[in-house]
Amino acid sequence: MTRRHESPTDHAVPRRFAGKTAIVTGSTRGIGAGIAERLAAEGANVVVSGRTVEAGEAVVDRIADLSPDESADRAPAGDVTFVRADMRDPDDVAALAEAAVEEYGSLDVLVNNAGVQTETAADKATLDDWAFVVETDFRAYWLAAREALDHMDRGTIVNVSSNHAYATMPAHFPYNAVKAGINGMTRSLAVDFGPRVRVNTVVPGWVEIERTRDELPEGRFEEVESIHPTGRIGTPADVAGAVSFLASEDAAFVTGAALLVDGGRGAVMQDDTLPDYRARERSE
């Protein structure tokens, strides 16, 4: 099977977010970078954020290249800037929202994506492990949402969770507990922030990013693909498309929801009952 390497901009909806401003936390690489690229391609002014300046500036440069010259037959991309922020620092979280408004005059979309994990089991995790994950992946989502609310009028927040919220593996604590918590936080924020702000969650499954490749030994990647009904694992473009939908007016009546983007893995009860979906696709 030929592997897809879609750009996050391949299915962009021109001008969908024209005149809007979006913050994407943890967007210096991986899924976050893909989301930032998609929103910019759809006309949003995007604030890329993360802890590493060099990586953030590289994403900004890549997005800036989306802007066509006058003869190009495509809609103009939005502007993009980088703001360094450590999401464990409440002062940085507040400054991030302020920087977006100062730069672009508004804040319309917040994508909470920043995340870390430890390879620890519940009986082995330390208080430091707990603080590292909970403060980055959970507390920061609440703080960023609260700061964004002060600047939003009919805005949208999309929280990036994980399929670990529903089913998990050993030695993923407290990451898995936090991801389940994010889904609950989304419901709380949707109820408390509505109707002024809609809040939803996108729930990715396996996504091909650098960390995924590192975690899967040789041969295992193809095996994991074969047990997805789609015949492949996801890409940042897949998640970016779901985020774009939830942040857009196409989802104007959607709030407090969690959208599973996992290639059908959540529909599977037992792997040993599945056909090899990659082999099936090759034969069709």
Residues in the chain: 284
Residue 21: strand, helix, or coil: strand
Select which of 104, 141, 166, 175 is catalytic. 175
CB 157 within 8 A of CB 188: no
Q: Six-digit token pair at 153?
A: 């009028």
Helix, strand, coil share of the chain (percent; to 5): 45, 15, 40
Cβ contacts of 173-181, under 8 Å, gap ≥ 24:
173/120, 173/121, 173/122, 173/125, 174/118, 174/120, 174/122, 174/125, 174/129, 174/130, 174/133, 174/134, 175/115, 175/116, 175/117, 175/118, 175/133, 175/137, 178/133, 178/134, 178/137, 178/138, 179/137, 181/138
Q: Is 175 a catalytic residue?
A: yes
Cβ contacts of 123-130, under 8 Å, gap ≥ 24:
124/171, 125/173, 125/174, 129/174, 130/174
- Alpha carbons 231 and 273: distance in angstroms, whole number: 15
Residue 80: strand, helix, or coil: strand
- 195 prior amide bond cis, ω within 30: yes
Could you give the residue numbers annotated as active site? Answer: 175
